Amino acid sequence: MAAAARPRIAGPHPVAPGPADPVNVSQPPSPPVRLVRRAALPFLAGLMLAACGGPRPGPPPAPAAPPAAQADPVLPPLKIGLALGGGAAKGFAHVGVIKMLEANGLRPDVVAGTSAGSVVGALYAGGMDPFLLQERAVALDEASIRDVRLFSGGLVQGLKLQEYVNDQVGKRPIERLRKPFAAVATRLETGERTVFVRGNTGQAVRASSSVPGVFEPVTIGDYQYVDGGVVSPVPVDAARQLGADFVIAVDISNKAGGRRPDGMLGIVNQSIAIMGQRLGEQELARADAVIRPKVLEFGSADFSRRNQAILEGEKAALAALPQIRAGLETLQAQRLRQAREQQARMAAQRAAAEAPACDEDGSRWNPFRRKDGTCAASR
């Protein structure tokens, strides 16, 4: 019996004969199947319309970029202070110290002086460079700063010293000098340390240099003042008060080392040094670097060795340069570390202030949740 012919489906391309289909397409579908199809059509149409009408999904969020590295904070330069101690004619060594410091790029920003240190400090703060300082020191006539007067509380009045200093600084008051300057004296009535940072420059220097028993006490206002070396032989604390971050102290004070001082001025100076030695050691310990020119053998009134004193100041400052540079580097590194820590704390506070808060349960449906899936703790 001949095989029944396979029905052909009309279309533009003929279908090649093949194995039998599992469903006989020549027969119409049964009524239950037709009902299921009719019921499903509205549901499918609704889904298609919802898909077309709804918002299209956007691209997935990009991964959060890592936080950019913060640049190091910019720090102001360290403010260097110079504390020049007392020592009468030994104070010429201060000129050599300043000369060597500046030659190596270390220019003090503030200056404090006691006694002879206040004389050199005032001239330097007034704008003299180290070479002009040396020129004036070499040319200094002792008679130009010494005015002897008997039976007045001292052998030297000190008015000539006051006028000399005022002439050298152009008669400017302390607050108008080129660098911040302080002269340290001792209030005679109470023994208190007094730091002059404004007013008559020459008068403040005269008060700071009035060695008891040699110079007359200086009357300023309602009080009398004598040499600052009685309470502050090397004015480290005064330099700090002027705002110094790093204090270089220059110690030329007499030491009671078993030698007998020469002359009345030497005796008085050593007596003052003995009285203020303990205080001076405590104050020197608060300096960042100490320079000690080898001038202990020089007489307190020996102006003839001024050139040698200047040279000793240069040598002592040169020897102290490694200590000074190391101290400056250490202090700057410490300041940078503290500034970085402060910067990190401020950045964390800003981030916490800008981040939205989560609900207590941290629900993922929280509308304040950020796109990256995180949110800040409740504030």
- The catalytic residue positions are 115, 227
**Amino acid at residue number 272:** I
> What does the alpha-carbon distance between residue 102 and residue 113 come to, in Å, rounded to a whole number?
18
> What does the alpha-carbon distance between residue 183 and residue 203 come to, in Å, rounded to a whole number?
10
> What does the alpha-carbon distance between residue 282 and residue 324 come to, in Å, rounded to a whole number?
20
The alpha-helical segments, DSSP class H, found in the chain are 31-53, 92-103, 116-125, 130-139, 159-168, 201-208, 236-241, 263-284, 306-354
Angle separating helix axes 92-103 and 306-354, nearest 10 degrees: 50
> What does the alpha-carbon distance between residue 86 and residue 84 come to, in Å, rounded to a whole number?
7
For 134, other C-beta atoms within 10 Å of its C-beta total: 20
Q: How far is CA 265 from CA 146, 225, 353, in A?
A: 13, 18, 69
Q: How far is CA 42 from CA 34, 37, 48, 230, 301, in A?
A: 14, 10, 10, 108, 119
